[in-house]
Amino acid sequence: MKTFGGPVLFLDRSDINTDEIIPAKYLTEITKEDLKPYILEDLKLPGFDPKGPKTGAARVIVSRANFGCGSSREHAPWVFEVNGITAVIAESFARIFRQNMFNCGMAAIELPKADIDLIMSHAEDADAAMSIDIEAGTLTMKGGGQQKSFSFEISPFDKALVLAGGWVDYADKNY
Amino acid sequence: MGRTTAEKIFDAHLVDEPFPGTKVLRLDAVLCHEITTPIAIDDLIRRDKDRVFDPTKIKAVIDHVTPSKDTKTATQAKILRDWARRHGIKDFFDVGANGVCHALFPEQGFIRPGYTVIMGDSHTCTHGAFGAFAAGIGTTDLEVGILKGVCAFRQPKTIKFNVNGTLPKGVYAKDVILHIIGRIGVNGATDRVMEFHGSTIADMTMESRMTLCNMAIEAGGTSGICMPDMTTVDYLWKFISNDFASKEAALAEYSRWCADADAEYEQIIEIDVATLQPTVTFGYKPDQVKTISEIEGTPLDQIYIGSCTNGRLEDLRIAAQILKGRKLAPTVRGILSPATPAIFKDATREGLIDIFMEAGFCVTNPTCGACLGMSNGVLAEGEVCASTTNRNFMGRMGKGGMVHLMSPATAAASAIEGKIADPRKYL
């Protein structure tokens, strides 16, 4: 199983789409590693630098509603994976992106807006970090001398995919 | 209790329900293109599982960048081509026979009512026009589909759209779906099937129904679905005439996939098309729509007619009707990409290609190319394109470019004026 948690990258906008996560012109790369430099290249957000140290250090992304909308490209979860980001926490996800995350053994976790608001309040904390316990369904946000825990639900199937390390292994064993 | 079309298809294809709410379905068609399939193939080889569940149910095409523009795209094409040959996948469409997947595969008769269809492409929802459950998925789902012929889905809820009335002059399926997306938002149908009913849909051709279902994903929808009827049977007849004694017999068989009158919907939305106007997007999300009167006059640099949304013969006819005897404004360039070779040939035979070329359009081979900024019409920074495609995301057709989505008629009128223009004055 992959590990989940670490420094947080805050992307405070709804409807972040897969073209912003990884532009189509890079879909001609044949290996996942080759995608690495292009993470979030076309995302325009105040104060956000796709090549900045916060992006490089991040292990978790926190965002708003409908994260990952648009194309079916699994290059979006892959570009996160090769950059060490294995979990996205958001108010909601587009279906294909969400399933792609779990299919790769990564986590797409939904929290209510009020919880995301609380987590987003740590956006300016230099030490903002999250720990995630998939089995227990809890995550803890730390930063600026504060700490707060949240509980979440993922479907039993998605949890099984995370535990199995992804859908190919799971399906090969069961079908 | 009655069932929706998706519920009927789920019930008929259920292989397993490993957890409540998760349904593993048997697949009737697994569609592949050269962008999302090669990494699945590579992974299968790495796992020592380079097999396919059924070569007759796998269809593959090179469409996103074709003919290949560089070594990387040539390599992607080669991986797909070699794999199709290795596994005896007969329905593989290479350079010369290839076209935009969601136009090509229906045209080949591969999609039938009641089918389950997946593809590593978000616009797979297009195929719901035939009364199928058709969903875009990622490369891992595709990989499992290729290997095992199954895919897992959450049982989707269904939103019913009752679309009624006669389409006014200058208003087409594209305007209807842009209006719907504007009404429900870019995540208004996430994890939902969008079922289209009503007199407007009944009057639509299969081409128009495909345009409608194609953009279900832009509202987050898993699949658009239209009810199979005699229009569906007529379209498919050349492929199914040996299977049925008569068209009526085919209709009787296919009708069992129609939603029951007492099916339960999460929501029912009424759309009266009589009041619709030509509709165009602004901004960077497909739910940011305006009526033509609110946006006409916006200056343009490029006009693009093509794609899985609006690159079919019907679309070319509508645009050509407006362009006939007229010229592109000198400040804009026009690009036409007929979506398949058959469409290209028919359009040539009907004289449509002449009309486009005399108007000053560049006519390219069938490809997805410009729609996602990969080839054949990428925008420069700050340029604006009037496009019959499906996504206006920032940078979609080229970094720093702006895309306005619209119907082929509105695109043609805009080509003439060099700015977003009302097609109704040319009809």
Evaluate if residue A52 carries a pLDDT over 80. Answer: yes
pLDDT bin (cut points 50, 70, 90) of residue B399 is: very high
Which H or E run contains B46?
Answer: helix B38-46
B58-61: strand order across its sheet: B92-93, B58-61, B29-33, B116-119, B133-136
A147 pLDDT exceeds 90?
Answer: yes
Mean pLDDT value across residues B66-80: 97
pLDDT of residue B50: 97
Query: Which residues, in sequence order, are CB contacts of B355 under 8 Å at separation 6+?
Result: B320, B323, B324
Q: What is the pLDDT of residue B229?
A: 98
Q: Give yes or no for a contact between A98 and A46, defined as CB atoms under 8 angstroms apart.
A: no
The residue type of B311 is: G
Environment class of residue A88 by beta-carbon count within 10 Å: exposed (0-12), middle (13-18) or buried (19+)?
Answer: buried
Cite the DSSP H helix spans in B261-312: 292-295, 307-310
Mark yes or no for CB contact A30/B39 under 8 Å. yes
Domains B5-270 and B282-426 share a fold: yes
Tens of pLDDT, residues B201-217:
999 999 999 999 999 99
Q: Is the confidence at residue A127, as pLDDT, over 80?
A: yes
Mean pLDDT score, A77-92: 98
How far away is chain A from the Cα of B168, in angstroms, using its nearest Cα? 30
Which of B:359-378 have CB within 8 Å of A?
Answer: 372-374
Task: List chain B residues with CB under 8 Å of A100.
Answer: 138-141
Q: What was the pLDDT predicted at A2?
A: 79
Residues A31-47, mean pLDDT to the nearest whole number: 95
pLDDT at A16: 98
Asked if residue A165 has pLDDT above 90, the reply is no
Angle at the Cα of B413 (from B412 to B415), degrees rounded to 5?
Answer: 65
Query: What is the CATH code of the structural domain delimited by B5-270?
Result: 3.30.499.10
**Positive or negative torsion for Cα B66, B71, B76, B78:** positive
- Please compute the mean of the pLDDT values over residues B23-38 and round it to a whole number: 98
The average pLDDT across A3-12 equals 96
Residues of A engaging B, defined by a Cβ cutoff of 8 Å: 15, 17, 19-20, 23-25, 27-30, 32, 42, 44, 65-66, 69-74, 77, 92-96, 99-100, 103-104, 155-157, 160, 166-168, 171-172, 174-175
Tell me the pTM: 0.97
Of A29, A71, A95, the CB nearest to B220: A95
Report CA-CA distances (Å) from A143 to A8, A53, A112, A121: 10, 17, 20, 10
pLDDT given for residue B94 in this prediction:
98
Q: What is the mean pLDDT of residues B24-51?
A: 97
ipTM of the complex: 0.96
As a whole number, mean pLDDT of residues B337-359 equals: 98
Give the pLDDT confidence score for residue B388 in this predicted structure: 98
Band of pLDDT at residue A169, cut at 50, 70 and 90: confident
Q: Are B303 and B332 in contact, with CB atoms under 8 Å apart? A: yes
Under the banding of pLDDT at 50, 70 and 90, the label for residue A3 is confident
- Residues of B (194-223) whose Cβ lies below 8 Å from A: 220, 222
B399: nearest CB among A42, A94, A160: A42
Burial per residue of B63-100, b for 16 or more beta-carbon CB atoms within 10 angstroms, e otherwise: bbbbebeeebbeebbebbbebbeebebebbbbeeebbb
Mapping DSSP to helix (H, G, I), strand (E, B) and coil, where does residue B114 land? coil
On the question of pLDDT at B168 being above 80, the answer is: yes
Domain count, chain A: 1
CATH fit for domain B282-426, picks 3.30.499.10, 3.40.630.30, 3.40.50.2300, 3.40.250.10? 3.30.499.10
All residues of chain A having their beta carbon less than 8 Å from the beta carbon of residue B394 are 19-20, 42, 44
- Percent over 90 (pLDDT), chain A: 91
Contact of B96 with chain A, judged by CB distance below 8 Å, is answered with: no
CA distance B242 to chain A (A): 34
CA distances for B401 relative to A19, B289, B384, angstroms = 13, 18, 6
Sheet of B361-363: strand order equals B361-363, B333-337, B302-306, B384-387, B402-405
Residues 59 through 78 of chain B touching chain A, CB cutoff 8 Å: 64-65, 70, 72-73, 75-76
Confidence of residue A173 (pLDDT cuts 50, 70, 90): confident
Confidence (pLDDT) at B70 = 96
Which domain CATH number covers A77? Answer: 3.20.19.10
For chain B, percent of residues with pLDDT exceeding 70:
100
Range of the domain at A33: 5-174
The number of CA neighbours under 13 Å toward the Cβ of B410 is: 33
How many cross-chain Cβ pairs, A to B, lie less than 8 Å apart?
A: 146
Interface of B with A in 231-290 (CB under 8 A): 285
User: Which residue ranges make up each domain of chain B?
Assistant: 5-270, 282-426
Alpha-carbon distance A61 to nearest alpha carbon in chain B (angstroms): 20
Question: How many C-beta atoms lie closer than 10 Å to residue B381's C-beta?
Answer: 9
Residue with tokens 């978790």: A60
Asked whether B224 and B214 are in contact (CB, 8 A), the reply is yes
Mean pLDDT for A98-118 is: 97
- The pLDDT of B300-319, averaged and rounded, is 98
The pLDDT score that the predictor gives to residue A30 is 82
